[in-house]
Amino acid sequence: MKRLFTPNTTPSKIGTWEVGATSPEKKRGPMIPTKASPTKLMQKRTNAFSDRIKTYVFFDLECTDLIKNDDLRSSSLKKTCEKSEEFSNLLNDLCLQTRMDELPRITEMSFMAIPRDTFDELKEERRKIVSWNEHNPDSQQPVVKFIPTSTHTRLLNPTMDEKEWESYEKRRCFDRKGVLVHPKKQCERYNSFEKEWPDVIRFLDSLPKPVVLSKLFY
C-alpha cells in the first residue's frame, strides 16, 4: 500500500503504538515486536531490502519534446494507487488513449550501472568529506569525485514524417534551454528504437541482480 508522507504526517502519527506491542501479521513476514516507532521499523525493513540490491542503474533520456505540465493525462498520474497493478493498468489505459503523434519520441537513452557496494562506499566517503569541510574551512577537500560506472548509450532515429521533423527543427532552433539537442541530420543516421531496444535489454540482463532502475534528475 502506498502512502504519501509529509514532514507533518509521519507513519508514527498515522497510527498509535506502544513499546512491546506487535505489528499485524503480513504476507511479507511474521509479526515484529514494536520496540521502536513504526518510522524506525519502516527504515529497518527498507535497509533489509536494500541489502539485497546488487546494482543501481541510473538512466536519462533525450526526446523530441517535453510533456506539458498542464496536460490532462499528467493529472491522472498523480492519483494515489493502492497497488502496483493499479498503477500499471493506469499507464496502459493512458497509452491506449494516446496517439503516437501526441507524445515526444526518444532520440537518446543512456544508462549508468554501478555496484551497490561501490555506491555505498562513495556515499560514505562523501559524507566524511562534507563533514571535514564543515570543520576545516581553510583546507577544503573536493566533494565531486569520479564515479566508475558501466555505461550504455543508444542514439535513436525517432522516425518522424516531414511535417513532424519541420516542427521539431523549428522548436530546436529557438530552444534556449538546451532541451532539444539532436538535429534531424544526425538522428536520421541512427537506428530506430525497435532495433536498439534489444541491446538495452541485453545490457540490463548482464548486470548482477537484483537491479534498481532510477531516473536521473537535474
Residues 127 and 45 in one domain: no
Same domain, 132 and 34: no
Residue 155 belongs to some domain of the structure: yes
| pLDDT above 90 coverage of the chain, percent | 47
Is the peptide bond between 142 and the residue preceding it cis, with omega within 30 degrees of 0?
A: no
Tens-digit pLDDT profile for residues 107-140: 999 999 999 999 999 999 999 999 999 999 999 9
In this predicted structure, the answer to whether residue 188 has a pLDDT above a threshold of 90 is yes
For residue 63, being part of any structural domain is answered with yes
Q: Are residues 39 and 114 in the same domain?
A: no
pLDDT band at residue 35, thresholds of 50, 70 and 90?
very low
Q: How confident is the model at residue 215 (pLDDT cuts 50, 70, 90)?
A: confident
Specify whether 130 is located in the same domain as 205: yes
Mean pLDDT of the chain: 77
Residue 88 located in a structural domain: no
> Can you read off the three cell numbers belonging to residue 54?
546488487
Whichever domain contains 113, its CATH number is 3.30.420
Cα–Cα distance between 91 and 51 in angstroms, integer?
30
Q: End-to-end CA distance of the chain, in Å?
A: 29
Rg (CA), the chain: 23
Proportion of the chain in helix, strand, coil states, percent, rounded to 5: 40, 15, 45
pLDDT for 157: 98
DSSP state at residue 187: H
CB 172 within 8 A of CB 180: yes
Contact present, 20 and 7 (Cβ < 8 Å): no
Question: Is residue 81 a part of any domain in this protein?
Answer: no
Q: Please say whether the beta carbons of 108 and 62 come within 8 A.
A: yes
Cell 532539444 sits on residue: 180
Given phi > 0 = left and psi -120 to 50 = alpha, else beta, which region is 159? left
What range defines the domain where residue 46 resides? 11-50
- Overall number of domains in the chain: 2
